[in-house]
Amino acid sequence: MEKIRAVLFDLDNTLIDFIAMKQESCKAAAEAMVKAGLQMKNPEAYYCLMDAYFKVGIESNVAFTEFLKKEDQFDHKILAAALNAYLDAKSRCLKPYPNVVAVLEQLQAKGLTLSVVTDAPKTKAYQRLLGMGIEGYFRFVVGYEDTNSTKDTGLPLKLAFKLLKKEIPDISPNEVLMVGDSVKRDIVPAKQLGMKAALSRYGQKVFEAGNPDFELSKIEDLLGLF
Facing residues of 96 across strands? 16
What was the pLDDT predicted at 154?
Answer: 96
C-alpha–C-alpha distance, residues 108 and 113, integer Å:
7
Q: Is residue 1 part of a domain?
A: no
Does the pLDDT value for residue 1 go beyond 70?
Answer: no
Mean pLDDT, residues 106-115 taken together: 96
- pLDDT band of residue 29 (cuts 50, 70, 90) is very high
- Say whether both 68 and 157 belong to one domain: no
Question: Greater confidence, 2 or 178?
Answer: 178
Specify if 100 maps to a domain: yes
Please give the residue range of the domain that contains residue 172: 6-16+95-225
Domain containing residue 158: CATH number: 3.40.50.1000
Asked whether residue 83 is domain-assigned, the answer is yes
Burial class (CB in 10 A: 0-12, 13-18, 19+), 186: buried
Q: Are 211 and 220 in contact (CB under 8 A)?
A: no
Indicate whether 72 pLDDT > 70.
yes
Which of 40, 63, 93 finishes a domain?
A: 93
Both 174 and 88 in one domain: the answer is no
pLDDT of residue 59 exceeding 80, the answer is no
Q: How confident is the model at residue 131 (pLDDT cuts 50, 70, 90)?
A: very high
CATH number of the domain where residue 87 is located? 1.10.150.520
38 inside domain: yes
Kind and range of the H or E run holding 84: helix 76-93
Residue 133 and residue 199 in one domain: yes
Choosing from 46, 77, 93, the residue where a domain stops is 93
86 and 107 within one domain: no
Q: What's the predicted TM-score (pTM) here?
A: 0.88
Residue 178 and residue 186 in contact, taking contact as beta carbons nearer than 8 Å:
yes
Going through the chain in order, the beta strands assigned E by DSSP cover 6-9, 113-117, 141-142, 176-180, 196-200, 214-216
Confidence of residue 24 (pLDDT cuts 50, 70, 90): very high
Task: Tell me which of 5-19, 63-77, 96-110, 203-217 is least confident.
Answer: 203-217
Residue-averaged pLDDT of the chain = 93
Cα gap 223→202, rounded to integer Å: 15
116 with 25, same domain: the answer is: no
Does residue 176 lie in a domain region?
Answer: yes
Domain boundary among 93, 114, 134: 93
- What residues does 214 pair with on adjacent strands? 198
- Is 207 a member of any domain? yes
pLDDT per residue as tens digits for the range 155-166: 999 999 999 999
